[in-house]
Structure 1
Amino acid sequence: MEPPQERHRPGALKQQNKAHKHGRHRSKGSLDKINKGKVGPKSVVKTNKRDLRRDERRNKAVQIRHKKREDTFALKRQVGTAKTPPILVAIIALSKDVDPFLARDKLQTSEADVTTTRSGEGYIHLSVPRLKQRFSIFAPPAGDLNSALDILKVADSVLFVLSAFGECIDEEGEILLQAAFSQGLPTPVITATDLAELPIKKRNEVKQNMQKVFSRWLPEEKVSQLDTEMDAQVILRRLGVQKRKLIAQRQNRSHMVADEVKFEPEQNGFGTLKVTGYIRGQPLDVNGLVHITGWGDFQLDRIEAPDDAHPLLLNSSRKDSAEADMKNSSPRLLDQANPQDQESLVAENVPDPMDAEQTWPTAEELEDAESRTNKKKIVKKVPKGTSEYQAAWIPDSDGESVDDEEDDEDDEEDPMYDAVSEEESECDENEEDDMESVTMSEIPESSKYDKDMDVEEEKFALEKIKEAKMDQMFPDEMDTPQDAPARVRFQKYRGLKSFRTSPWDVKEELPLDYARIFQFENFANTRKKILTFQDRPGSLPGWYVTVHIKNVPEKLMLKKEPGQPVVLFGMLPHERKMSVLNVVLKRCTFGDQEPIKSKEALIFQLGYRRFVVNPIFSQHTNGNKHKYERYFQPEGMIVATFFAPIMFPPASCLVFKPNSDGTENLVATGSLLSVDPDRVVLKRVVLSGHPFKVNKKSATVRFMFFNREDINWFKPVELKTKYGRRGHIKEPLGTHGHMKCVFDRQLKSQDTVLLHLYKRVFPKWTYDPTVPENTSAEVEMSELES
């Protein structure tokens, strides 16, 4: 009997052809047959989750659609009704040819049954029975950018007014639009006035030109006409029913606009400020802190509830009864501050100077330190025109030791300060007396233009532009000093094997100012807990209240100009404490394009705050180390780091550059990146040398150092070239700075050898909440009068 024949069994390398794709999806029944009852692990864990049937999916989609619709209607009903605050409308003119108060009067007289009330701060309150809504209309003073931005922070809608005659949007209007968009623009409406005065055939053409000009800002918005009562009725109805935009930085906080402001002086130049208005956003806690934009942070004493001075009146009988109730009623006390639960105004941490393990120095060490201190030259920064007698009153702690100065390019003296002796000030006074004796008739026509020009400022601007161009062409390159050893000049610097991966201790050699700030263990978790907290105590939004703010300086009230809005924000916990803030900034594409130097004084408008600070700039990159930037170049994006009170993002940021004449230029916009004192900003210095003799992989380099000791000191630091070669110093040659270097590849004769050194830099404590007033409106008025 023959043995059974062996069957051929395919191996692992047998070709497997793909199945034909018929283009149909597998049904649920076929999937069940393939799985044969097997259940995935996710289905076992989540027993309540299962695949929905067709009717269940359809019902779920209907529920989601209804939920979104109800949320939209609820958002519209948050303002304008009898139990909610009025719709706050800001009227903004985008050119000098437009009168915003004329547009406000047209809205006021749009209907016969509109009830109008006025407040002491310049607001017009309209009660419209036909729409069952009420409006608060405010027009900021012309030319006052800060007032316009303050009212746009809290406005529900903004009414942009254009003119049919003249320029549609002038230069100031462009700046205002750029700032408003960066800050957070409320729901916009665009109107055009004076169209009725044009011929009928030209009206459509002019309106299309306006639409074309404004389309690059708001392409979806249509330009409406505002000339007749019917046009005003259409605009008013549109303001009442449009979908509201949510601005997170104000929705997370309570805020209100002062409808009435009264000040009761007390003693020592302080008093109680009574602010009356509608609470918006979140509940206002009497034990929390409030911030008045441009004024500062304050504590509350109590909150009272007077009768609503601008109710929604639907008929005349209710109007008469409401007026009688207002005459006979008195404010009710809603809440009184508890000193034990009230948040403190302490902004800085008080460090303990003895909180360290430090032994007491010996007598020899004290004598040695005193002798070194006497040898050091102290340089003081004093304002120009200050005599030696006046300079003696400035503390020595304000001076800087010459031995501890940073790079010469970064620590130049401020042009607004100088060390002036008494003899020089007397000479200046004599020169001024001589100039006053010259009459206007003696001044030639060609020099009338030059009489208001600051020559020193022009020279300083030219030097700064040159330095910025050199820094852009040769970033961080510096000549090695010949009069001092390089190992002494750059003793605070170190080399890094890799800028990205080399370690750097974030707590190493921190300045004393870091002992005064506060830091979060986990900032993201703290922010999440504070912003998602639902049951906040305090007076509810929509209430008409009078807030009593205590210990307000009287000078702030005297400084307030008529027509400037008083905007109050309720502060979140910890927002009074000082820390290190990092802000992402981008240069504006218009206006002043002069380079901005690091540590230059700038005006920041961060969220609801406005302050002056000298930031340091660094690159906006990933990683745990960031390179220091000496200049904020045009069309660039950087991160500005400075000391300021804590603020929780999202928060918009506007940066203004102050001018010598009191005006301000918008130079950058951005947003808050983080509150992180551990951000490492490294300043780089690049020393360059030139190949003298080139072999295969070795070369003799000169002009990087000028003595043998410096070469041995920097021998461990890696060398790089502009053509991408890497190497190291092998040995010095002679005593005049020549050295033999070895590279990974052959060096070209036109290449440049570089040595990179790094040092961590910190911002200076220059936070100043007192911002000088913008005098642009006053300048315009003086020019018109002349």
Structure 2
Amino acid sequence: MMDGDDDSKSSPALCHHRFPVRLAAAMAGSRVQVNKVHKTRFASKASRHVHKTSLKDKSKIAKSERNVSKGARAARIQRNKTIREQKRAALLKEKRASSGSNSSPRVIVLFGLSACVNLNSLAEDLLALLSTDGIGAMFPTVASFEYKLRTTVLKAPHGDLLSCMEMAKVADLIAFVASASSSCEEGSSNYYIDAFGSQCLSVFRALGLPSTVVLIRDLPNELKRRHDLKKTCTSSLASEFPEDCKFYPADTKDELHKFMWLFKEQRLTVPHWRNQRPYIMAQKVDLVADVCNSEKCTLLFTGYLRGRSLSVNQLVHVSGAGDFQLYKIEILKDPCPLNVRKEGDFMDSDQVHDVQVISSLVPDPLKQEPLLVENVPDPLAGEQTWPTEAEMAEADRNQEKKLKKRTLPRGTSEYQAAWIVDNSDIDYSDSDDEADDDMLLDETDSGFPGQGGNEKLGH
């Protein structure tokens, strides 16, 4: 019995050493601390304060009202989701329209901040990078199969303010080019910008700047000196451009390759006034003389239509010439297609100048806008017209009548004089004298008591 008791007493100890984890959990029982779950994280304000509501008020809360609140929340979530999807679709549509195969080429305008910047070498490097076969280097518009992008590269002439303004008006991206090894004159406000560059910057800000970048050229080959000079140039030019303007080195082919990839993916912003009407950047201009009338001619513009749609019946404005009617619109085959290898439209350099007309649009004489600068007055419509000579003479006579000297009684104000008609004007100078005489007669005839008694006493 003693041995059995010893065995029975020792058995739990053996089990305890053999299964320590399970027994510890089982033996703990209700003595284990269990914390309350924090449930107010996803609870509403009404549910957190429901314990403060009396039973009478709780009964007043109907089930329909709770369902209405749940339905409003679901409708709000659905509406926000619809708005997000619409914005995403609009952004995708805008991206396809700006960089797709059917979109017009993106226009890059190279503008030198000083006269010592060499834009010709930069334009040649960009065109050589975009055109793999070398054809695009001859023309400003290039279709790149590697970047899947069509680009027009223009060089702003330094010193010609009007040409720089015209290029800035149609630019999708203005690339300001600065030379790290240049030093401008002492009168300029910036070390890398000369006087003409500062003038153009102020004009561009007044017109409205599109997307802008700054390309830094002529950096040294030494890595540390190159980094320090780029940092100095960036800090010096940062105050002259918008906050979102990026600075890129543009000396090597790899640096230009990085810039073009970022340019392809960039969402370009243009001034608001540019999207309000259609416009064409002329890539080719021809002049055809009129056989019947030597003083007239026909101007032919060739280019990509940008902005909004253009009607053949509306007037067009030519910069520096005025408003004109359209003779016709010819839809041409794309001279610079993006998918030429796929569509089989590849053109040799001799065929680039050939023009293939797909269709033509002729204006409707009944719907075409007339070339009327001034409005033709209609006498039956009661419109305000320029006065005739008879009306001007009558106005002069009326003015003379108003300036005629009028004799008015003393103390008459301007307001009282305005009520007196010319026909009823009286010579108040004579009437005043007569009034004075009448007053004297009245005084002599009137029998005052004192005067009568004195006369009797005198007699």
User: Separation in 2 of the partners of 1:219 and 1:105?
Assistant: 29
Counterparts of 1:558-637 in structure 2, within 5 Å, are none
Selected match of 2:331 from 299, 305, 312: 305
C-alpha spacing 1:262/1:27, structure 2 compared with 1 (3 Å): farther
User: Separation in 2 of the partners of 1:340 and 1:28?
Assistant: 73
Paired position in structure 2 for 1:157? 173
Instruction: Check whether the contact 2:131–2:144 (CA below 8 A) recurs between aligned residues.
Output: no
Aligned AA for 2:93? A
Instruction: Check whether the contact 1:90–1:159 (CA below 8 A) recurs between aligned residues.
Output: yes
User: Separation in 2 of the partners of 1:315 and 1:117?
Assistant: 15
Instruction: Check whether the contact 1:76–1:244 (CA below 8 A) recurs between aligned residues.
Output: no
Paired position in structure 2 for 1:26? 46
Instruction: Check whether the contact 1:108–1:114 (CA below 8 A) recurs between aligned residues.
Output: no
Counterparts of 1:364-383 in structure 2, within 5 Å, are none
Aligned-pair CA distance for 1:236: 1.6
Aligned-pair CA distance for 1:264: 0.7
* 1:88 to 2:103 alignment: no
Aligned-pair CA distance for 1:215: 1.9
Selected match of 1:124 from 140, 149, 157: 140
Counterparts of 1:702-717 in structure 2, within 5 Å, are none
Selected match of 2:208 from 150, 159, 184: 184
Instruction: Check whether the contact 2:127–2:137 (CA below 8 A) recurs between aligned residues.
Output: no
Aligned AA for 1:210? C
C-alpha spacing 1:359/1:238, structure 2 compared with 1 (3 Å): closer
Instruction: Check whether the contact 1:75–1:244 (CA below 8 A) recurs between aligned residues.
Output: no
Paired position in structure 2 for 1:600? none
Aligned-pair CA distance for 1:70: 3.2
User: Separation in 2 of the partners of 1:81 and 1:356?
Assistant: 52
Paired position in structure 1 for 2:279? 255
Aligned-pair CA distance for 1:185: 1.3
Counterparts of 1:659-678 in structure 2, within 5 Å, are none
Aligned-pair CA distance for 1:196: 3.4
Give CA-to-partner distance per residue, 1:254-306, whole Å, 9 cap, x none.
11100110011222422110101111111110000111222211110100122
Q: Give SS of 1:249's match.
A: helix
Aligned-pair CA distance for 1:107: 0.5
* 1:133 to 2:157 alignment: no
C-alpha spacing 1:272/1:127, structure 2 compared with 1 (3 Å): same
Give CA-to-partner distance per residue, 1:340-374, whole Å, 9 cap, x none.
11011112223367958999979xx77x86xx9xx
Greater share of residues in helix: 2
C-alpha spacing 1:64/1:351, structure 2 compared with 1 (3 Å): closer
User: Separation in 1 of the partners of 2:91 and 2:242?
Assistant: 22
C-alpha spacing 1:236/1:36, structure 2 compared with 1 (3 Å): same
Instruction: Check whether the contact 2:130–2:143 (CA below 8 A) recurs between aligned residues.
Output: no
C-alpha spacing 1:150/1:356, structure 2 compared with 1 (3 Å): closer
Instruction: Check whether the contact 1:116–1:125 (CA below 8 A) recurs between aligned residues.
Output: no
* 1:52 to 2:68 alignment: no
User: Separation in 2 of the partners of 1:139 and 1:107?
Assistant: 12
Paired position in structure 2 for 1:342? 368
C-alpha spacing 1:262/1:35, structure 2 compared with 1 (3 Å): farther
C-alpha spacing 1:243/1:36, structure 2 compared with 1 (3 Å): same
5+ residue gaps, structure 1: 1-22, 41-46, 373-487, 489-708, 715-786
* 1:171 to 2:191 alignment: no
Instruction: Check whether the contact 1:114–1:128 (CA below 8 A) recurs between aligned residues.
Output: no
Paired position in structure 1 for 2:29? none
Aligned-pair CA distance for 1:57: 5.6
Paired position in structure 1 for 2:253? 229
Paired position in structure 2 for 1:331? 357
**Number of aligned positions between the proteins:** 345
Aligned-pair CA distance for 1:131: 1.3
C-alpha spacing 1:109/1:271, structure 2 compared with 1 (3 Å): same
Aligned-pair CA distance for 1:52: 2.2
User: Separation in 1 of the partners of 2:69 and 2:282?
Assistant: 53
C-alpha spacing 1:311/1:48, structure 2 compared with 1 (3 Å): farther
Selected match of 1:295 from 301, 318, 321: 321
* 1:97 to 2:116 alignment: yes
Aligned AA for 1:292? V
Q: Give SS of 1:126's match.
A: strand
Aligned AA for 2:331? A
Paired position in structure 2 for 1:270? 296
Aligned-pair CA distance for 1:228: 1.0
Instruction: Check whether the contact 2:282–2:301 (CA below 8 A) recurs between aligned residues.
Output: yes
TM-score relative to the length of structure 2: 0.64
Give CA-to-partner distance per residue, 1:210-253, whole Å, 9 cap, x none.
22233222223231001111111112222211012143211121
Aligned-pair CA distance for 1:149: 1.8
Counterparts of 1:638-677 in structure 2, within 5 Å, are none
Q: Give SS of 2:129's match.
A: coil
Greater share of residues in strand: 1
User: Separation in 2 of the partners of 1:152 and 1:106?
Assistant: 22
Paired position in structure 2 for 1:431? none
User: Separation in 2 of the partners of 1:133 and 1:235?
Assistant: 13
Aligned AA for 1:337? P
* 1:201 to 2:224 alignment: yes
C-alpha spacing 1:356/1:258, structure 2 compared with 1 (3 Å): closer
Aligned-pair CA distance for 1:29: 10
User: Separation in 2 of the partners of 1:359 and 1:181?
Assistant: 48
* 1:210 to 2:233 alignment: yes
Aligned-pair CA distance for 1:112: 6.4
Aligned AA for 2:210? P
Aligned AA for 2:162? N
Counterparts of 1:685-704 in structure 2, within 5 Å, are none
C-alpha spacing 1:329/1:278, structure 2 compared with 1 (3 Å): closer
Aligned AA for 1:51? A
Q: Name which structure has the greater RCO, CA cutoff 8 Å, separation 6+.
A: 1
User: Separation in 2 of the partners of 1:326 and 1:102?
Assistant: 24
Instruction: Check whether the contact 1:91–1:158 (CA below 8 A) recurs between aligned residues.
Output: yes
Instruction: Check whether the contact 2:128–2:134 (CA below 8 A) recurs between aligned residues.
Output: no
Aligned AA for 2:140? I
Give CA-to-partner distance per residue, 1:381-412, whole Å, 9 cap, x none.
xxxxxxxxxxxxxxxxxxxxxxxxxxxxxxxx
Instruction: Check whether the contact 1:76–1:243 (CA below 8 A) recurs between aligned residues.
Output: yes
User: Separation in 1 of the partners of 2:389 and 2:172?
Assistant: 63
User: Separation in 2 of the partners of 1:179 and 1:359?
Assistant: 45
Give CA-to-partner distance per residue, 1:612-662, whole Å, 9 cap, x none.
xxxxxxxxxxxxxxxxxxxxxxxxxxxxxxxxxxxxxxxxxxxxxxxxxxx
TM-score relative to the length of structure 1: 0.39
Q: Give SS of 2:158's match.
A: coil
Aligned-pair CA distance for 1:337: 0.9
Aligned AA for 2:231? Q
Paired position in structure 2 for 1:72? 91
5+ residue gaps, structure 2: 1-42, 184-190, 404-409, 416-459
Q: Give SS of 2:300's match.
A: strand
C-alpha spacing 1:27/1:289, structure 2 compared with 1 (3 Å): farther
C-alpha spacing 1:59/1:36, structure 2 compared with 1 (3 Å): closer
Selected match of 2:161 from 120, 125, 145: 145
C-alpha spacing 1:268/1:98, structure 2 compared with 1 (3 Å): same
User: Separation in 1 of the partners of 2:210 and 2:388?
Assistant: 61
C-alpha spacing 1:316/1:180, structure 2 compared with 1 (3 Å): same
Percent identical: 26
Higher Rg: 2
Aligned-pair CA distance for 1:313: 4.5
Aligned-pair CA distance for 1:67: 3.5
| Pairwise CA RMSD | 4.3
C-alpha spacing 1:64/1:269, structure 2 compared with 1 (3 Å): same
Aligned AA for 1:109? A
